[in-house]
Structure 1
Amino acid sequence: MKFIYIKAICLSLLCLSSCQLAEDLDDIKPLYTLDAEIAIVDESTAELALAGVYAGFRQSNNGSGNPEIYLIPGLMSGMLVNHFVFNNGPEGRSYVANNPLSDATSANIGAYTRMYDLINRTNWFIEKTSELSESEFSSPDRKTTMIAEAKAIRATANFLLLRLWGQFYDSSSKYGIVLRKEPARSAEALPRSSVQETYDAIIEDLDAAIASAPDLRAKYFINKTYAKGLKAKVMLYQGDYTAAANLAKDIMDNSGSNFALEPNYGDIFLDHTTPDLFSSSEVLFAPKGEPGAILGIGNFTGFWASINPTFSAEASKSTTIDGQTIVHDGTRLSSTIYNSGFFGYDTFKYNTRSPGQLYEMVYLLRMAEIYLIYAEADARASNSVTSEALKALNDIRIRAGATSTGGDGFETYPASISLSQFLEAVRVEKQIELAVETGEEWFDLVRYHFIDGFDVTTVKPSATISDKYILPIDAVSIQAGGGVVEQNPSY
């Protein structure tokens, strides 16, 4: 039998969890289930099923892998530290030491299986919704847009998997991820695809979303602009800099008022008391937490992964260009990072666990990152610092309060900046601008290492083994598949 779960607490229709792959699917009969053959029969049940797909982004309990999937990279980069009480076991310490455990993990296996659960949900949804007649839908294109949303979610999950468990920095590598495009109907394990095959699958799904996803339903739903933005990011990771720059520039220039930089940096995050948080023009796509549930990334920052107390010093570090000393930040870090005492240094970007702070999002992609993707990609594509690339970088700094007087301090970068200085400035800018969001600073360190020979140990001294820039697949997952899935090197 083929099952799709209905989670009674939120009335969301869910799909069979990939963490049960060690059992015969015919023997699994969980509570609150519907046979997949009858679960999606018309538009209303398809919408319910799609809500269940989106629910896969939400954290349900410690060790579920969400939000740990966004916080583990921060431990690897040194932006975060594991809490001395709540996350001080061998696994947490192994991320900080850049020597991740390959067996008996919680966060690692939770994040890995959570993403495959999300992919399995999308696969069931796509298959069963595709079988419906368009006459079942109130508008002629709703069936197509729903399937496009699901494909973009699948692309997102595959990308998150690739950058943590695959050698994303080498398109010629055989160490991609296991690609699943069909619902899991048995315990059969599939071998890993190559990195190039993984990128191809991600791009194929994103192209479908760019063509057919909704323009905008709400910022916590997939839309065309997010699909374009994620594709630009994927192309940057893949090294197709011209394509990445062109896509990012298109978003910057042609997305309208619904997708634009917020005038004030703090307005993106700091009001967690109203649903207005979900309406920011800055956001391209950001899954939301359940209001008042105290479940989500904001309930993990501080006690599971505290902000490294030394990270705030990044703001006062500087770059010297033609005798001008330019500091890296103004008030972005000081306005979003605070000492919560026993729970360590925390961030105002998420739910602060205070009364009335009910709303939060996981910022998977926002406009500031699009500007910085463009800046890096354009510079790498042209092998020079173009005026457009420099403007994109400085636009983010100006929004954060930088001035252009030509003196020392928090200033815009001058036209005399060299290419190497510019690329490093973009990396640092992303580290500060996107701090404690999705761990992007770690993946930038890895990319810069393999592209430019950047010495990661200058930022994280313990990161000495390049094979361990990505995580191991937990031994339990490999054993459950009969050894079909090959482990990453050096684990």
Structure 2
Amino acid sequence: MQIKFKFLWLLALPLLITLPSCDEDLLTESPTNFLSPVNFYRNSSDAQIALNGLYAGQQRIQGYSGGDAGVALLWGMHGADEIVVPPWTPPGRRTLFLFSATPSLDVFFNVYSRHYQEINRANTVIDQVTAMTEDKINDEDRARILAEAKALRGSFYFNMVRIYNRLPLVVEERVNLENLEFTQSEPEVIYAQIIDDLTTAIADLEEFGASGQLSKGAVQALLGKVYLQMAGIPLNQTDKYALAAEQFKDVIDSDVYSLEEDFQQVFDLDNELNEEMVWVVEHDAPGQTIDGTQNSNLGSFMGPHGSLNDGGGWGTAWSMTDLELAYDRDDTRRRVTIAYGNAPNVMDSVRGPNQFKPWKWQKPAGQAWGNDTPFDYAYIRYAEVLLGYAEAHAQANGSVTTEALDAINQVRARARGDNNPETAVVDIQPGLSIAEFIDVIDNERYLELAFEGHRKGDLIRWGRLVDRMNNLTPQTAVWPGLPEAEPHEIFWPIPQGVLDVNPQMEQNPGW
């Protein structure tokens, strides 16, 4: 089901909370772009339009947004071991790679403030739809819209707690400028709200397949990811492994999703809503964006340097040498994920590792979309569900179970393709310790989910981010310097602009 979004500019007061000053013009809404929530929510159609506006906000912050707030790109990959950020890349992104940023970096503020803008949008939808009387909306529409809004709010807070750790927890819409000096909640409190939002949503969502509209399976998969993150560092709530395995197993047993036979087809522009897509952030382009900040930049950020007419990109993200070398030479994922030289040349390079570049979302030759590429962002794929289940089931049982091996070997079999199963991407065999199996999971997620925005979260919960970043293999031609990561940098700082305006806020330790 394709969802076409019409922008509804609802209240965004948490953005005001974080601004260094309050401009009177910012508080004045013109009649052409503002509808009071009290006057707007007249029927189910109005409620759906408001929800569509919330989906539009998801475009802005979840993946590879052109509005420099896309979490998958800025947090998930910059400062992880998938991409090299060349010296000519904009300074802010280089400092993320080098772990040399300060709290004043605009990226920290943009991600923070725009998330709270969308959280308040979600709060408005939830509060206003809850208050609608029976003559305005039927019970079925109310339950579904509230479920989708809560699931989206839960996903936004999941981003924020992993990125900033201690946060203000705001779950009611803000309609005035009173009592804006919020205090921070501990991460356990934030996670409790996320779990409540997602479990409440699951009960009222339908179980259908790949779509931009959220389903029960999509939210269960996210809840599994939430539990898996809680089981690792920094919370170390190991009882959550069993809960994660339960959620992933429900998605697997639903028989709604399956692996695409051909790995390349997973990312094909003509096959976007395939059966492997569990949670999808849809984009249409060119020229079909909402306000210029929801552009999908997948084909530009993650395209190799070269002519846009040949399907190339900006050349500001190069593939890490270690990533390319980690692939079995017969792994079908290698040539889908890595380009060798400039687009559209995907032959093995004879010029050395300085030619390794991302290629997962290659643009068809002859398309020059520039900043506005039409690729959907797959927030959760079925392959990640299988890998999450393998890890969680093994950890919950204290041994590498048959179920865990079957799940990871499904992913590996697809990567092997038609090559010899005894020599190419061989099945993982019984007999591994838990520690050895986590090493295998680490490597498999590295290869399968490369450039999809999950790597930093994985490395953090395994306690491997700092050591990994401080022991990278340099690439001489494009290496901007050696990262110098410190333990406190598993979290971003609270943006300086937030601290300046709200004396109740405290900086994360170490910053």
Fold conserved between structures, TM > 0.5 = yes
Mapping of residues 53-202 of structure 1, within 5 Å? 53-59=54-60, 64-67=67-70, 69-85=72-88, 87-89=89-91, 91-103=92-104, 105-137=105-137, 140-166=139-165, 176-187=166-177, 188-202=180-194
Give the one of 355, 368, 375 matched to 2:367.
355
CA contact 2:263–2:333 (8 Å) conserved in 1? yes
Cα gap change, 1:350 to 1:248, in 2 (>3 Å) = farther
- Deviation at 1:458? 4.1
User: SS of the residue aligned with 2:78?
Assistant: helix
> Which residue identity lines up with residue 167 of structure 2 in the other structure?
I
Once the two structures are superposed, residues 33-63 of structure 1 have per-residue CA deviations (whole angstroms, 9 ceiling, x without a partner) of: 1112111111111111111110002249987
CA deviation map 1:276-317 (0-9, x unaligned): 412x1111111111322382131333438413351443334x
Question: Shift of the alpha carbon at 1:328?
Answer: 8.8
For the 8 Å contact 2:259–2:382, the answer to whether it is kept is yes
Q: Is the 8 A contact 1:312 1:333 kept in 2?
A: no
Q: Name the amino acid aligned to 2:508.
A: N
Q: Does 1:208 align with 2:208?
A: no
| CA distance 1:386–1:217, change in 2 (3 Å) | closer
AA in 2 matched with 1:208: T
CA separation in 1, counterparts of 2:497 and 2:358? 33
CA 1:223–1:265 in 2, change beyond 3 Å: closer, same or farther? same
Output the TM-score relative to the length of structure 2. Answer: 0.80
Q: Does residue 310 of structure 1 match 2:321?
A: yes
Task: Name stretches of at least 5 consecutive residues in structure 1 with no aligned partner.
Answer: 1-8, 167-175, 317-326
2:416 and 2:424 in contact (8 A); partners too = no
In 2, the alpha carbon distance for the partners of 1:354 and 1:32 equals 37
Taking the aligned partners of 2:210 and 2:385, their CA distance within structure 1 comes to: 19
Is the contact between residue 209 and residue 275 of structure 2 (CA under 8 Å) also seen in structure 1? no
Give me the whole-angstrom Cα distance separating, in 2, the residues matched to 1:419 and 1:329. Answer: 27
Aligned equivalents of 1:207, 1:196: Cα separation in 2:
16
- What secondary structure is seen at the aligned counterpart in 1 of 2:74? helix
What's 1:171 paired with? none
Residues 426-437 of structure 1: matches in 2 within 5 Å? 426-437=441-452
Q: Distance in 2 between matches of 1:219 and 1:305?
A: 30
Q: CA deviation at 1:415?
A: 1.5
Instruction: Tell me by how many angstroms 1:379 deviates.
Output: 1.2
Question: Which of residues 480, 484, 491 in structure 1 aligns to 2:504?
Answer: 484
- Find the counterpart in structure 1 of residue 460 from structure 2: 446
Higher deviation after alignment, 214-223 or 149-158: 214-223
Shift of 1:356: 8.2
The aligned runs of 1:401-416 (5 Å cut-off) are 401=416, 407-416=422-431
Question: Is this contact kept in 2: 1:265–1:332, CA < 8 A?
Answer: yes
CA distance in 2, matches of 1:11, 1:455: 43
Would you say 1:12 and 2:7 are equivalent positions?
yes
CA distance in structure 1 between the aligned counterparts of 2:421 and 2:6, rounded to whole angstroms = 57
TM-score by length of 1: 0.83
1:359-394 CA deviation, whole Å, 9 max, x = no partner?
311111111111111111111111211111111111
CA contact (8 A) 1:210 1:228 kept: yes
1:395-426, Cα deviation, whole Å (9 max, x unpaired) = 10001116897744421111233322211111
Closer, same or farther in 2 for the Cα pair 1:468/1:356, shift >3 Å? Answer: closer
C-alpha distance in 1 between matches for 2:107 and 2:362: 20
How far 1:97 moved relative to its partner? 1.1
Q: 1:115-154 CA deviation, whole Å, 9 max, x = no partner? A: 11111111111111111123433x6411111000000000
SS of the residue corresponding to residue 34 of structure 1 reads coil
Amino acid paired to 2:53:
G
Distance 1:43 1:82, change over 3 A: same
Q: Give a deviation string over 1:92-128, Cα, whole Å, max 9, x none.
A: 221111233210x232221222211111111111111
Give the distance between the partners of 1:330 and 1:479, measured in 2 at CA. Answer: 51
CA distance in 2 between counterparts of 1:108 and 1:351 reads 30
The Cα of 1:472 is off from its aligned counterpart by 1.1
User: Paired residues, what number?
Assistant: 451
What are the ranges of 5 or more consecutive residues in structure 2 without an aligned counterpart? 232-239, 290-294, 304-313, 344-354, 474-481
Larger RCO of the pair (alpha carbons < 8 Å, separation 6+) = 2
Deviation at 1:454, TM superposition (A): 7.3
Q: Structure 1 residues 15 and 328, CA, compared in 2 at 3 Å: closer, same or farther?
A: farther
Identity fraction in percent = 24
Residue matched to 1:319? none
Deviation at 1:75, TM superposition (A): 1.8
